[in-house]
Amino acid sequence: MTRSTYTEQELALLVESGAAREFLVQRAEDSDKGKPRWVLLVRRRMHWVPLRSKRENPRTWASLDSLEAFTRKLGIADFKVES
């Protein structure tokens, strides 16, 4: 069975344990008013799994700078970006 999403707490545990090592950032499909939003995906086996929040599924960021600050806080050293 494949996970559909991860919470921030689950992602933090995966990063801390070394179970999550590959990360991808993509432009969100439903960007509002032409402004891009960004989604963080985690590679688990053969699938990319998005991060979710209490309000959003998937969680999105308005800028790559804010997403980068979030990933640093979790200990994610690098990620790939697809636009």
pLDDT at 65: 96
In a domain, 81, yes or no: no
pLDDT at 27: 92
Average pLDDT on 59-82 reads 95
Q: pTM higher than 0.85 for the full model?
A: yes
In a domain, 38, yes or no: yes
- What's the domain range around 42? 8-75
In a domain, 3, yes or no: no
* Interval 3-57: pLDDT, tens: 689 999 999 999 999 999 999 999 987 656 678 899 999 998 889 999 998 888 8
Given a cut of 80, is residue 2 above it in pLDDT?
Answer: no
Structurally, the chain folds into a number of domains equal to 1
In a domain, 62, yes or no: yes
Q: Token digits for 49?
A: 């799994």
Going from the C-alpha of 35 to that of each of 5, 13, 29, 41, the distances in angstroms are: 24, 32, 11, 20
pLDDT at 30: 65
